[in-house]
Every structure is written in structure tokens, then in C-alpha cells.
Amino acid sequence: MASGFFAILDDIAALMDDVAVTSKIATQKTAGILGDDLAVNAEKATGFLSSREIPVLMKIMKGSFINKLIIIPFVFLLEWLYSPAISFILIIGGFYLAYEGVEKIVEFLFHREKKGQEVIEESDDVVEDGEVAEKTKVKSAITTDFILSLEIVIIALASAKTGYESLKSQFDPFLVEIVTVSIVSIIATIGVYGIVALIVRMDDAGFKLIKKSNDKGIISKLGHLLVKALPFVIKALGVVGTIALILVAGGIFDHNIAVLHHVLPDWNEMLKHIIYGLTGGLIALILISAGKKIYTLATKKV
């Protein structure tokens, strides 16, 4: 009885050794997308009242966990049924990310401040309720997280397969792959949103340092630095987040559309991804804008 129990422990230890190797490879391969995920989610988790930042972030993190609970079994099932479909789904997700990025750029470049009568007319409109605005932004963040999580899971799965091939494992590859992908997904979610939480609470940490030091000395200066730096960090995250959306989308197009992958072979990979991302985003923006106009005209006639 005891020997059987220890044999099970030995098997678990051996499995964890294999998973450690494949998880290390998968984490290294997903490091780039995790950086983009951090930038995008940090940008989307800001812009709320101080008292709402952490509750909103928890809602987004909960949504991210749910996303991965849906994605992981779906990807393994799809891999078993028809693996080429994964690339097709990634391409659709890439267009969504590219659209989000390009929409931000277009809004920044062509948005003009309203003046005079326009401001008066706008003030007469019904102001969107704060709770509704929060739900809208959380929904947008969770949707974007879904696409990024999908790519993280797929890259982790591909890396787990590569890592397994280098092992002389006694375990079924499916078991090693599913444990590896699950661990990487958990680390990704906790790691990304943990760092985002630290970023959005920079000012509160600064105020506490100022208060504890009685606004004197190096600690007080550090507190003031954190408070003053937050607005610049938020703006920087907005820029980095937008660039990340374009780069991730361009990377998806480059790696999943064979024709594009062989175009411009001598060009810098990042530059190629930016071009592909911007192009895909412009196409998506034109199609979605046209669809909205057609829908508006159709509803008016009705």
C-alpha cells in the first residue's frame, strides 16, 4: 500500500520535471506576447476613479480566467478535430486587434476639439452613466484579452509540443501539454494583472510614502515622484498599448498567412508586423464603418 503511494508520488514528480522543461520553453516563447498583453491591459485598466481601479481590475482578471477556461479546452478540441482552423480563428482575432489599434490612431489624428455651439449641443445630450461606461470598458478589455489569451495558449501549446519532443518522457504528450498550457496560462494572468495593479496604484503608494515621511527626506521625494510620474506612465501605456495591438495583429498575419510570411523577406520583422497590422486595421476600420452606416440607414428607413 505504502509502496504504491510512493510510486504515485514518483510519477507526479517525474511529470512535474517534464512539465518544468516544457513550461520554461513555453514561457520564453510567450514572453513577447505577455509584454504586449501587459501594455494593452494596463492601458485599458486605467481611466477610472481611484476607488474603482482595483475592483475594475479584478473584474477584468476574472474575465481573463474565464477566457482561458473557455479557450484551453476549445483549442485542444480544435487541435484534435481540425488543427488548421486555429490559424483561421487567430487571423479573425488579428483583424479585431488591428481594428482597435488603428481606430485609436485615427481618433488621435483626426479628432478635433468641439467649440462654441457644438459644445452647447453636446452638453444637452444625455451623459452616459458612469456604471454603464465602466461596464463597457471592462467588456472591451475582456474581449481584447480573449484574443491575446488565445494567442498565448496556442503559442504555449506549440512550445509544449516542441519541448516534449526533446524529452524522453514516459508520459502521454497530451497530459504534458495540457498541464504545461494550464500553468503558463495561470502565470500569465496573475503576472500580467499583478503588474497592472502595481502600476495603477502608483499614486496611492506615493501618497502613503509622503504621509509616512511627513513630507521630508528621500522617501518623500520618491513619493512625489511616483505621484507625478503616474499621468506620464498612463499616457505612455496608451501609446505602447496601441503599438502592441498593431504589432500583435501584424505578427498573427505574418505567421498565419503563408503569402505574407514570404513577402519582404529582407525587411525587419517588427517593421513588417507594423505594416501588416496597420493595413489589416485600415481594412477592418473601413468595413466596420461601412457596415455601421448601412445599418444606420437601414434602421432609419424602418
For the segment 255-299, what is each residue's pLDDT rounded down to a tens digit?
A: 888 888 778 777 888 899 999 999 999 999 999 989 888 888 888
Which parts of the chain sit beneath pLDDT 70? 1-12, 14-15, 18, 28-37, 39-40, 43-50, 111-130, 166, 168-171, 301-302
pLDDT at 86: 81
Number of domains the chain is built from: 1
Q: Specify the residue for cell string 511627513.
A: 214
Give the Cβ contact number of residue 258 at 10 Å: 9
* Structural domain that includes position 180: 2-301
- Residue environment code for 41-71, b if the CB has 16+ CB neighbours within 10 A, otherwise e: bbbbbbebeeeebeebbebbbebbbebbeeb
pLDDT at 126: 41
Q: Pick left, alpha or beta for residue 259 (phi over 0 → left; psi -120 to 50 → alpha; otherwise beta).
A: alpha
Is 0.75 topped by the overall pTM?
A: no
C-alpha–C-alpha distance, residues 302 and 300, integer Å: 5
C-alpha–C-alpha distance, residues 53 and 202, integer Å: 12
Each residue's pLDDT tens digit, 75-112? 888 888 888 888 888 888 889 888 988 988 888 888 65
pLDDT at 26: 72
C-alpha–C-alpha distance, residues 117 and 168, integer Å: 74
3-state per-residue secondary structure call for the chain: CHHHHHHHHHHHHHHHHHHHHHHHHHHHHHHHHHHHHHHHHHHHCCCCCHHHHHHHHHHHHHHHHHHHHHHHHHHHHHHHHHCHHHHHHHHHHHHHHHHHHHHHHHHHHHCCCCCCHHHHHHHHCCCCCHHHHHHHHHHHHHHHHHHHHHHHHHHHHHHHHHHHHCCCCCCCHHHHHHHHHHHHHHHHHHHHHHHHHHHHCHHHHHHHHHHHCCCCHHHHHHHHHHHHHHHHHHHHHHHHHHHHHHHHHHHHHHHHCHHHHCCCCCCCHHHHHHHHHHHHHHHHHHHHHHHHHHHHHHHHHC
Alpha-carbon Rg for the chain, nearest whole angstrom, is 23
